[in-house]
Structures are given as structure tokens and as C-alpha cells.
Amino acid sequence: MEALRNMLVMIELELRRLWHDRTEIYSRAVQPILWLAVYGPVMGRVRGIPTSVPYTDFITPGVMIQSTTFVSIFYGLMIVWERDSGILKKLLVTPASRYSMVIGRSMASGVRALFQALIILPVALIIGVHFIPNPAHFILAFTIIFLSSGGFAAVSVLIASFMKTRERFMGIGQAIVMPLFFASNALYPIQMMPPILREFSSINPLSYVVDAVRGLLITGELSNIILDIVAIAIFDTIMFVAASLSFRRIIE
């Protein structure tokens, strides 16, 4: 109960911040738009990648999720910043439990991520990406994005607990997101990858998220959806526990 309440409070905080300053959402939308508007059509012409749908359609979920993962991972940066300022110290001295703080903050990043994903939708529509027009699919897909963003934010809390300065974290953040992105099924089907990458891709949480969202929004291929959701749930749980345990390190 307490965890749920704190989660809602942290989500409210994020919404209020977003309301006051939306520039970050717009500026972060530039990169994914480039992927969809430039990279997608050009690579699509090459026709080197066998996909069941047009290539830009194929990469749309991946680009969306790469963008939300960036948001989540850099959320840890905010926590490092809060450690530098007194906010984290003050939060930890309130009656709220540490673990509800970690989960609350992580899920709050899911909100930012959702907005980030939503802003890509109209752009994709203009470019001509075909979505499956089923509201239930959209709701489930965005729920999955929301929950997996929480997990990635927990990853960043975990890393933030080892990195004590912002500068160090900036580099690490990049070094995590890009490999996850390229070693996933976001830009090409897993079958095309060399065997080692294929192995890695099968333990890459991003692959499962992309697979689920692609199935729901683009291809309608839902045979793996249960596996995807279970994988994401396991990933979230492990990361929440690990992040909560390491949280103490951030303040000391």
C-alpha cells in the first residue's frame, strides 16, 4: 500500500515537472524521428533485411523503445543529481521506506517514457507506418513500455549507486543503451545475427519488449507474447530488488 502511494506521488511529481518544462520531451524526440524518417526509408530501399512488413514499420517499435530506454537509463542521472543536492537525503529521512522510494522513482520514469513513446506515434503515422487499429493492443503495448521502463530505471539506479559523479555516469549511460539497442531485434530480426549476438539477444530484455510491442502494434504476431511478458516481469523484479539493496550506497 505504502509503496503504491509513494509510486503515485513520484509519478505525480514527474507529471508536474513535465508540465512545467516540456522541452526535454521534444528535444529527445529528434533522434528517434531521424531513425524513422531517414534511416528507415533508406535501409528499406536496400531490401537487404527480410521483414514481413515494410522496413520502417518493422523498426518503429524498436526505435520507440530505444528512446524510452534512454529516458529511463538517464533517470538514474537525476537520482545522482538528487544525491548531490539534499533531496535524496531528505526523502530518506521521511517515514517512507527505502524500497518504496526506489520502486516509486523507477516507475515515475515510466511516465516520462510513455510521453516519449507517445510523441513518436504521430510522426510515425505521418511517415506512413501502419499500426494495428486495436485500442486494446495499444493499451497493452503502452503498459508493457511503462513497466519495462521502470525496470530500466531500476538498472540505472543500480548503476548510479556505483557512480558517484554525474560525469562518469553520462559515459556509462551511453555505453549501456547502445549495445542493448544494437544487440536486440530492434533493427533486424534475430535470425540475421551471428550466433554469439543471437545468444546475447536472448538474454537482452530489450528484445522481449520490442518483440511484444511489435507484435501488438505492427505485425499482430502474438505467439510469443506470454513469454515476453514473463521475461519482462522477471527482469523488473530482479532489478527492483537489486536497486533497492544497493540504494543505501548512494547516500553514503
Partner 1 sequence: MELAVSTEELVKIYEGKVRALDGVSLSVEPGKSFALLGPNGAGKTTLMRILTTQIRPTSGKASVFGFDVVHEGSEVRKLISYVPQEMSVWTDISGYENLLIYSKIFGIPRGERERVIEEVLEHMGLIDVKDDLVRTYSGGMIRRLEIACAMLIKPKIMFLDEPTIGLDPGARKSVWERLNIFKREHGVTIFFNTHYMDEADLYSDEIAIINRGRIVARGTAEELKRSLGGEMITLEMRGNYNQEIIQELRSLSSVLDVVSEDGRLSILVRDAESTLPQLIDLVRNWASVGRISINKPTLDDVFLKYAGERLEGRGRIGEIVHVRRMIRRG
Distance CA 198, CA 183 (A): 8
Q: 66: which 3 cell numbers?
A: 530505444
Positions 190 through 209 that interact with partner 1 (CB under 8 A): none
Q: 18-47: which residues touch partner 1 (CB under 8 A)?
A: 20-21
Q: Minimum Å distance from CB 98 to partner 1? A: 10
Binders of partner 1 among residues 96 to 135 (CB under 8 A) are 96-97
Q: Which stretch binds partner 1 (CB under 8 A): 9-17, 47-55, 139-147, 224-232?
A: 9-17
Query: Which of 4, 126 has the CB closer to partner 1?
Result: 4
Rounded CA-CA distance 184/42 in Å is 20
Give, in order, the Cα–Cα distances in Å from 79 to each of 95, 191, 208: 19, 38, 27
Q: Counting contacts by CB under 8 A, is residue 94 touching partner 1? A: yes
Q: Which among 95-103, 116-124, 137-145, 233-241 is the span making contact with partner 1, rule CB under 8 A?
A: 95-103
Between 1 and 196, whose beta carbon lies closer to partner 1? 1
- Angle at 28 (CA atoms; ends 167, 6), nearest 5 degrees: 75
Residue type, 213: V
- Give the contact letters, 74-93, x = binds to partner 1 (CB under 8 A), - = no: -------x--xxxx-xxxxx
C-alpha distance from residue 128 to each of 50, 122, 154, 246 (Å)? 19, 10, 35, 45
From candidates 3, 13, 127, 147, binder to partner 1 by CB under 8 A:
13
Shortest Å distance, C-beta 18 to partner 1: 9
Per-residue burial over 233-246, b if 16 or more Cβ lie within 10 Å, else e, is eebbeebbebbbeb
Quote the crossing angle between the two packed helices 135-160 and 166-182, to the nearest 10°: 140
Rounded Cα–Cα distance for residues 101 and 94 (Å): 10
Shortest Cβ 82–partner 1 spacing (Å): 9
Is residue 9 a contact residue for partner 1 (CB under 8 A)?
A: yes
Q: Does 48 bind partner 1 (CB under 8 A)?
A: no
Q: Distance between CA 148 and CA 106 in Å, rounded?
A: 10
DSSP state of 187: S
Is there binding between residue 189 and partner 1 (CB under 8 A)? no
Least Å distance, CB 90 to partner 1, is: 4
Smallest distance from partner 1 to CB 33, Å:
25
Q: Which residues lie near partner 1 (CB under 8 A)?
A: 5-6, 9, 12-13, 16-17, 20-21, 81, 84-87, 89-97, 251-252
